[in-house]
Structure 1
Amino acid sequence: MRDGVEIPLGPPKQRAVLAVLLLQEGRPISYDGLVEALWGGAPPVHVRNLVQKYVSGLRRALGDGAELAWTGSGYRLTGVQADDLRRRRELVAEALTARDAGELHRATELAGRAEELWRGEFAEGLHAPYLAAERLRWAEKRLTVLEARLAGRIELGHSFEYVHELVRLVAAHPLRERLSELLMLALYRAGRPADALTAYEAVRQRLAEAMGTDPGPGLRSLHARVLRQDPAPAPGDATGVAVGGAVEVGVGVGVGVGVSVE
């Protein structure tokens, strides 16, 4: 954006160049590195001309507020930032401060706001090997933020309200143990220990059939507590991972590509 107006950034491959450069966060990327990021091991015949064309197009689109320069070792983009990355980092810093001050309500609310900054799939519609890998990486980070938000809500006593959301998430990610653990915990805290044990048996069977493995220590520990009818643990106790720590790990860039020129 420039002065509140969206900047036309050109064709998809040119926007992919911008996404790759933005993810360097001001560090130069070599010509070979940029080509590899965009086309992998099979670049087109006239790849050098294409790179020069896209770089020139971005310089025109971004205008005087940004600098896309060749440093001698690579292309470096400055004066432009991915707004989602900046804002998400701010929210995480605030969430961690709130957590350290014992303000769990505020920390959970800030984690939820960080989660909301994801709009659609990462770098949606842009095709490049580097961006495909980043898309998977940020999908994982998005789930981590989501898990942190849900863990906070459960710790604040809202277990019953989030059972249905966790059932849906477990169905979408059946082998993700942390989601199954949170579902078990929400059920147990909601006074449904038998359902919590059923959820454990379901994930145990899925892991055995798909991967030939047993549940990890977090799930096993929670299962043992439910069997003993121990007091329900806090969401981070079963795995030893604090809620705030999960928030910190889970935050990252959300290039769509929406940028602001400073």
Structure 2
Amino acid sequence: MGEGTTGTSAAPSDDRGHAAPRFELLGPLRAFRDGTELPLGPPKQRAVLAVLLLQEDRPLSYEGLVEAVSGGTPPVHVRNLVQKYVSGLRRALGPGGPELSWTGAGYRLTGADICDLRERRRLVDGALAARDAGDIRRAVELAGRAEELWRGEFAEGLHAPYLAAERLRWAEKRLTVLEGRLAGEIELGRSFEYVHELVRLVAAHPLRERLTELLMLALCRTGRPTDALTVYEAARKRLAKALGADPGPALRSLHQRILRQDPDLLPLPPVPVP
């Protein structure tokens, strides 16, 4: 995968032959034209661009843009600053689109290709379709390719209330896809290769029960049911201390299956590669 764009189609151009810039948000915000990264200006200007990109061609009112970028305590000269950033973005994006305009209802950025989000959506949709069709190998492959698009946190390094909320939302989406991929890897008999990754993920997200469940399952499938029970007990104590709650139904059910020595939890042979 190249350092520039991640989409699958050529960038459009205007009638003067200027290629439209293509954007990436799965990591630090970047824009490329003809394989060259564009300078997008200071951090607040970049934050304005990221917020407008995420509107997906919808206008955003002046007040909404100020709130999204500055929160409830905007700087005194915020109107001048917003106009300065918008002018700076128009210069940075140059000819060939996208178009940043004032519609009367707000600022609107049209024709922007956020190529890594578009490609990720295509891959995740394909993974879900493959899983529903019973093609676990294909689902795992596509989910892995979607994960490879990430270069860091969503819109990494840009500080704005709206982007902070989006960063949390995308972190959740990323973890959900990752959990699906790891569940598929375990189902394909590849538990041994992913135990260490799951140990790391559980340490990073100690209250996320799905990751604990997958680690317990992987340990069982590698012949380590006692270690799986130890993982459960540690999770139970964490949840009690942090939330005053017991593990959820899925985790409790797996715990009981391990205690009953459910034969379905025995190690699986790897699925042969065709």
**TM-score relative to the length of structure 2:** 0.82
Partner of 1:241: none
| Residue number among 31, 36, 45 corresponding to 1:14 in the alignment | 45
Q: Secondary structure at the match of 2:100?
A: strand
Amino acid at match of 1:228: R
Rounded Cα–Cα distance in structure 2 between residues aligned with 1:232 and 1:195:
17
1:160 matched to 2:188:
no
Amino acid at match of 2:80: N
1:30 deviation in Å?
0.8
Partner of 1:255: none
| Residue number among 59, 64, 76 corresponding to 2:108 in the alignment | 76
Query: Which of the pair is proportionally richer in helix?
Result: 1
Amino acid at match of 2:146: A
1:95 deviation in Å?
1.5
Q: Report if aligned partners of 1:31, 1:74 keep a CA contact under 8 Å in 2.
A: yes
| Residue number among 203, 207, 218 corresponding to 2:239 in the alignment | 207
Q: Report if aligned partners of 1:188, 1:232 keep a CA contact under 8 Å in 2.
A: no
Runs of at least 5 residues in structure 2 that lack an aligned partner in the other structure: 1-31, 266-274
Rounded Cα–Cα distance in structure 2 between residues aligned with 1:232 and 1:70:
61
Rounded Cα–Cα distance in structure 2 between residues aligned with 1:199 and 1:219:
11
Partner of 1:5: 36
Runs of at least 5 residues in structure 1 that lack an aligned partner in the other structure: 234-262
| Residue number among 57, 77, 93 corresponding to 1:62 in the alignment | 93
Rounded Cα–Cα distance in structure 2 between residues aligned with 1:152 and 1:173:
20
Amino acid at match of 1:96: L
Q: Secondary structure at the match of 2:37?
A: coil
1:35 deviation in Å?
0.2
Partner of 1:246: none
1:102 deviation in Å?
2.6
**TM-score relative to the length of structure 1:** 0.86
| Residue number among 30, 54, 63 corresponding to 1:32 in the alignment | 63
Task: Tell me whether 91-100 or 49-58 shows the greater mean CA deviation.
Answer: 91-100
| Residue number among 53, 69, 73 corresponding to 1:42 in the alignment | 73
Q: Which has the higher contact order (CA 8 A, sep 6+)?
A: 1
Alignment length (residue pairs): 234
Q: Deviations over 1:70-101 (max 9, x none)?
A: 11111111121221110101111222232233
| Residue number among 122, 125, 147 corresponding to 1:90 in the alignment | 122
Rounded Cα–Cα distance in structure 1 between residues aligned with 2:51 and 2:62:
12
Rounded Cα–Cα distance in structure 1 between residues aligned with 2:170 and 2:160:
15
1:159 deviation in Å?
1.0
1:191 deviation in Å?
1.6
Partner of 1:143: 175
Q: Secondary structure at the match of 1:232?
A: helix
